[in-house]
A and B are shown apart, each in its own frame.
Chain A
Amino acid sequence: MKPEKTVVIDYKTGNLNSVCKSLQAAGADLIVTTEPEGLRNASRIVLPGVGHFASTERLLSSGIGDALRRRVADGIPFLGICVGLQWLFAGSTEAPDTPGLGIFPEICERFPSGIKSPHVGWNSLEVAGHSRLLDGLPASSYVYFTHSYRAGRVNATTAVTNYGGEFSSVIEKDNWMAVQFHPEKSGAVGLKILENFMRVSTC
């Protein structure tokens, strides 16, 4: 049997330390890549996200986006984190000239004025559909957020969070899975979510 490798995409923004450590704690055998070729032997793929939507530009220009579509169509589970969730949408008003991957046609927008932004801290997940990522977690579990832009609720939304209205905090469509919060910073709840991702069937 081929050894299972989880590939973390490094698009040169923020730091990957926390994501890598927590995935390892969840049992992942990791490879970090900056190139589309790096996805070839992946059993699972993780796109961390800290920073500006414009920094995702490299993902499409380098061919990572196309490679990723092929791999996920082949049945490889994908997990996007924070900007990694937003990138699955058509775009974000944070960087109107940078298209997203477009798995979902909507556009991410900034929190409305009148509430503090970024939304920083621990907020609860309200289950909105059958979720593999949240399997075994109590209702309204708390996770750590830090972001100024968010995606509205879509058909694939499996959990929402309330802050200046409802937004998508977990999205799962086939093997496209994404979370707006930081599981790597969300204590035991976050580790459980990563473990659940590591258990999603790869065939």
Chain B
Amino acid sequence: MLTRRIIACLDVNAGRVVKGVQFVDLIDAGDPAALAVRHAAGGADEIVFLDITATHEKRALLLDAVRRAAEQIFIPLTVGGGIRSLDDALLVFDAGADKVSVNSAALARPELITEIGLRFGEQAVVVAIDGRRNLGSPETAQVYASGGRKATGLGVIEWAKQAEARGAGEILLTSMDSDGMRSGFDCELTAAVSAAVQIPVIASGGAGNVGHFADVFTRGCADAALAASIFHFGISDARTLKQELAAFGLPMRLPC
């Protein structure tokens, strides 16, 4: 039986892992490669590096971390953030990533999704969507670009469908309303996107406890969930989280 996935996400700035709350307030928490190894050993089903480095000159630090991580882990590694072109994606794949996640650049030029898919396979392209709906219905959720700073006027569901049509292999949906709040994923929005596309949807933003993960897998119909801060400061590792979710009756990769 296909399991639901727990994906450990590391925010990386200038080659160092940081923890984000609502995209600001960053605390340094270590070496990405070392943390990736720790998460893989801890039972994570996949690892994501999200690069939030502002300056292009420091991208080399990320690539070095990707290279070192890829040498030591044998589970899927996705790298996102700052991938603006096929050439950027190439560098990341060359360093050892299995998938890339594209966000703002795909909004600016949706052809990028297709280009990367043709070169590396559709399974290698994750389209990351940052959405916000305030108190509106899921259908009113809007897409934000540039790390959540710029409204695009595009509907989340509409963009998810378009990304699928362009050849996205998966959707990584971050709820900006929930992100950093630790009050649970946006299950309604996740369910709406999951129903609108035929490709897997990874839910992100808002996890504070195990019940939140159970919710997003059941009510939210998520195929996978991103876990970031819940791990960093020793609350739980993926194995513990997965064991508890298995007790809820959810299919999990165990032992792991």
Are chains A and B native binding partners rather than an unrelated pairing?
Answer: yes
Instruction: Name the residue on B nearest A188 (C-beta).
Output: B74
- Chain A window 99-132, contacts with chain B (Cβ cutoff 8 Å), 1 for yes, 0 for no: 0000000000000010011111111100000000
The answer to whether A121 touches B1 (Cβ under 8 A) is: no
Q: Which residue from B75, B121, B169, B200 sits with its C-beta under 8 Å from A185?
A: B75
The answer to whether A118 touches B169 (Cβ under 8 A) is: yes
A187: interface (CB < 8 Å): yes
Q: Contacting chain A: which of B29-37, B93-101, B129-137, B226-234?
A: B93-101
Residue in B4, B70, B76 whose Cβ sees the most chain A Cβ within 10 Å: B76
Instruction: Name the residue on A nearest B254 (C-beta).
Output: A142
> In the assembled complex, how far is the CB of residue A9 from the closest CB belonging to chain B, in whole angstroms?
17
What's the interface size class on A, roughly?
Answer: 35 or more
> In the assembled complex, how far is the CB of residue B157 from the closest CB belonging to chain A, in whole angstroms?
16
Instruction: Name the residue on B nearest A21 (C-beta).
Output: B71
Q: Which residues of A contact B3 (CB under 8 A)?
A: 121-123, 142
B151: interface (CB < 8 Å): no
Q: Contacts A116-B199, A122-B45 given: A142-B123 contact, CB under 8 Å?
A: no
What's the interface size class on B, roughly?
Answer: 20 to 34
Q: Which residues of B contact A14 (CB under 8 A)?
A: 120-121, 124
Q: Which residues of A contact B76 (CB under 8 A)?
A: 144, 185
B218: interface (CB < 8 Å): no
Q: Which residues of A contact B170 (CB under 8 A)?
A: 120
The answer to whether B124 touches A50 (Cβ under 8 A) is: yes
In the bound complex, CA of A122 to CA of B3 (Å) = 6
Q: Which residues of B contact A122 (CB under 8 A)?
A: 2-3, 5, 45, 253
Q: Contacts A13-B121, A122-B3, A124-B1 given: A116-B200 contact, CB under 8 Å?
A: yes
In the bound complex, CA of A94 to CA of B108 (Å) = 30
B86: interface (CB < 8 Å): no
Question: What are 29 A-B contacts with C-beta separation under 8 Å?
Answer: A14-B120, A14-B121, A14-B124, A17-B93, A21-B74, A51-B120, A113-B198, A116-B199, A118-B169, A120-B200, A120-B223, A121-B4, A121-B5, A121-B223, A122-B2, A122-B5, A124-B1, A142-B3, A142-B256, A144-B75, A144-B76, A148-B122, A184-B74, A185-B75, A185-B98, A186-B74, A186-B75, A187-B74, A191-B74
